[in-house]
Amino acid sequence: MTRANRRPAPGRFAAALVATAALAACGGGGDGQPSGPVSQPLSVQLEKIGGYATGQFGVSAAEIPAYDAASRRLFVVNAQAGKVDVLDLRVPAQPVKIGEIDAATSLALPGANINSVAVHDGLVAVAVQAATKTDPGRVALYRASDLVLLGSASVGAQPDMISFTPDGKTVLLANEGEPSDDYQIDPEGSVSVVDVSQPAAPVVRTAGFGAFVGQEATLRAQGVRLYGPNANAAQDLEPEYIAVSADGATAWVTLQENNALAKIDVASATVTALLPLGFKDHGAPGNELDASDNDGRINIRGLPGVRGLYLPDAMGAYTADGQTYLVTANEGDARAWGEDNSAYWAGDASQGFVEEFRVKHLINKSGWAGRAGDDLPPQLGAMAAGGLLNPATFGYCGAVAGDPMGCRADDVLGRLNITWTMGYRTNPDGSPMMFDATGTANPAGNRLMYDQLYSYGARSFSIWNANGQLVWDSGAEFEKFFASDACRLGSARNIPCKDHFNSGHDEGGAFDSRSDAKGPEPEGIAIGQVRGRTLAFIGLERMGGVLVYDITNPAAPQRLDYLNSREDWTTADPGTVLATAGDLGPEGLVFIPADRSPDGTPLLVVGNEVSGTTAVYRVNASGGQP
């Protein structure tokens, strides 16, 4: 997410139970292997059966859920309070709060906040961010049955997601290491590998990125995004989310802003590879998108020259035919530090870094001087005086040499948010190639020539192999489904999705409001086994709701269901009708298989950051393998 659109509280979604084996240990499902031949197609329908409401709107009061089967308790990160709410789930239709975990008090760390939680066989692990996020964080271990603190240890800066290995002996933390808002302090990102076999004395090792310092040019050439001001690779790489193989030997970490994955050998706590993810061609059939929030209509179409950066957030792992596959929610995220700092916008580039810019401002033939002091990033202003579009790529929307023409229109490319840091033509040494105002290459010119435009997120979910090679992507399926008559909203499924296409999660009556940004914004992932099939549950942060896909065959997933339990879609400020608004802003998800469920049926639990609600869904299934 862009920092301008991040949740106001410091907790970030970080720890749904992702690797399939880890899911089994924490209340998830199976080892990822189909249990046998499927006798008939699987049918799945989600049904909301209950939930818990904090009564707090828009402050991230419900983010990451984790489940302990022995105590039948849910542990839900409440970022607004900086704690974990503990819910009794013995009656799934009526979760009841029975306690909380307060790391700031139990660890004597004033101002500390819990970002993430995971559970394995009665052991609760939490990721604790320091009061100053650039300081080292902590991992803390509690007993699920009575919430007693068992032990803790120091980890890297801003631990943002936590997960167990399948055997429960190791905890992994993604330490994002974001810079301070003014970019004066930029800690290194890292992954903490913590031996918790003795919870009273956890042992921490660090998988860092120091070995990649000095290789920045090579990594950029390979497609890893390294672009923070004055940052080396170790500082610029920001771990976000972790998935673990079924045997616990390998972990993969999303490096969201870097558009890459890190592969980690767990035994040696070593980063063995960085895997760039590339981009999606939005001009190719099947990859279309709606790029405008200001045209009053649904307008899904191919846009040659527009490339979507996957920038995944949540990720899960599962096994099919003996191979590990990774499933990513391609949310998108832009770096936006110092956006509230007037000194930065006044031209002091040392006070921040904002990479997001609208197309219509970037390619104004008159240049972007008129944006100075408003929303012109000083780093961009220092590079050139304006930007142009290559007519060879963008001639379809009217671009000619020296003038983008109709491409700037709000109903074409003008409203789309993109990164100005990529897509312009460069010299052999990597420096920007300059053009004059007529669109002619000229070292004395002061214009950039954009051959492609890179937008945030792929508006999809993807399946990758263990080496980060794309196996399958949902393409434009999300937006096309929401624009169709087949899609319905609300628990009763009686509200046409297309009437609220690409709506925001904190507003009502906002048709098409997110098309210029990241569309439905897939963010959360949970994976589980139902009737011999492997299912992916994808939470959509903006449009809301959960999509269910059968991913048993990684090369040919099938959509099975979509449920959005938001009920009020018209009240301008949903916070004023919070008690009846339903669930807004899915963040973290956890799947609970039938053999660990309190009522013997498979359940899905979703933390909703905007409505501050924890929703409990029953996964009703038929067919498949009984």
Summarize pLDDT for 319-342 with one digit per residue, the tens.
999 999 999 999 999 999 999 999
Q: What is the value of pTM for the model shown?
A: 0.93
| Tokens 């979910």 found at | 461
CB-based contact 242:163 (threshold 8 Å): yes
Quote the CA–CA distance of 619 and 441 in Å, as a whole number. Answer: 59
Cβ atoms of 97 and 82 within 8 Å: the answer is no
Measure CA of the first residue to CA of the last residue in the chain; give whole Å: 40
Partner residues linked to 221 by β-bridges: none
Q: Give the whole-angstrom CA distance, residue 502 versus residue 289.
A: 11
Residue 39 confidence class, pLDDT cut points 50, 70, 90: low
| pLDDT tens digit sequence for 243-272 | 999 999 999 999 999 999 999 999 999 999
Q: What is the pLDDT of residues 565-576, one digit of tens each?
A: 999 999 999 999
**Three-point CA angle 308, 275, 535, nearest 5°:** 70
Identify any residues that bridge with 116 across adjacent strands, giving them in sequence order.
Answer: 127
Question: Does residue 601 have a pLDDT over 80?
Answer: yes
User: How far is residue 539's CA from residue 615's CA, in Å, rounded to a whole number?
Assistant: 12
One DSSP character per residue, 2-36 reads: -GGGS-SSS--------BHHHHHHHT--SSSS--S
The residue among 621, 614, 623 whose CA lies nearest residue 48 is 614
- CB-CB neighbours of 91 under 10 Å: 14
> Are 303 and 249 spatial neighbours (Cβ–Cβ below 8 Å)?
no
How does the average pLDDT of the chain come out, rounded? Answer: 93
Edge-to-edge, what's the strand order for the sheet holding 149-157?
113-120, 123-129, 136-143, 149-157
- Bridge partner residues of 207 (DSSP): 191
Q: What is the pLDDT of residue 4?
A: 36
Count helices and strands (H / E) in the chain: 10, 39
pLDDT at 57 over 70: yes
- At 430, list the tokens: 């990597």
Going from N- to C-terminal start, the domains of the chain cover 3-277+312-333+457-622, 337-454
Which is higher by pLDDT, 23 or 93?
A: 93
* pLDDT confidence band for 298 (50 / 70 / 90): very high
pLDDT of residue 40: 85
Residue 37: pLDDT band with limits 50, 70, 90: low
Inform me whether the pLDDT recorded for 30 exceeds 50.
no
Which CATH number is 3-277+312-333+457-622 given?
Answer: 2.130.10.10
Mean pLDDT for 207-231 is 95
Q: How far is CA 351 from CA 229, 258, 354, 466, 556, in A?
A: 10, 21, 10, 39, 47
Higher pLDDT, 595 or 18: 595
Calpha distance 39→258 (Å, rounded): 43
Backbone φ and ψ of 120, nearest 5°: -145, 115
Cα 2 to Cα 256, 269, 356, 357, 361: the distances in Å are 11, 30, 8, 11, 18
Per this entry, what is the length of the chain? 626
Burial class of residue 146 (count of CB atoms within 10 Å of its CB; 0-12, 13-18, 19+): exposed
**165-216 residue pLDDT tens:** 999 999 999 999 999 998 899 999 999 999 999 999 999 999 999 999 999 9
Query: Is-contact 27 593, C-beta < 8 A?
Result: yes
**Confidence class of residue 230 from pLDDT cuts 50, 70 and 90?**
confident
Closest by CA position to 528, among listed 450, 624, 456: 624
- Considering just the CA atoms, what is the radius of gyration of the chain in Å? 23
Q: What is the mean pLDDT of residues 50-58?
A: 97
Tell me which of 26-30, 132-136, 478-482 is least confident.
26-30
192 in helix, strand or coil? strand
Q: What is the mean pLDDT of residues 499-503?
A: 97
Percent of the chain with pLDDT over 70: 94
pLDDT digits 0-9 by tens, 395-453: 999 999 999 999 999 999 999 999 999 999 999 999 999 999 999 999 999 999 999 99
Mean pLDDT over 101-105 rounds to 96
Q: CB neighbours (10 Å) of residue 420?
A: 26
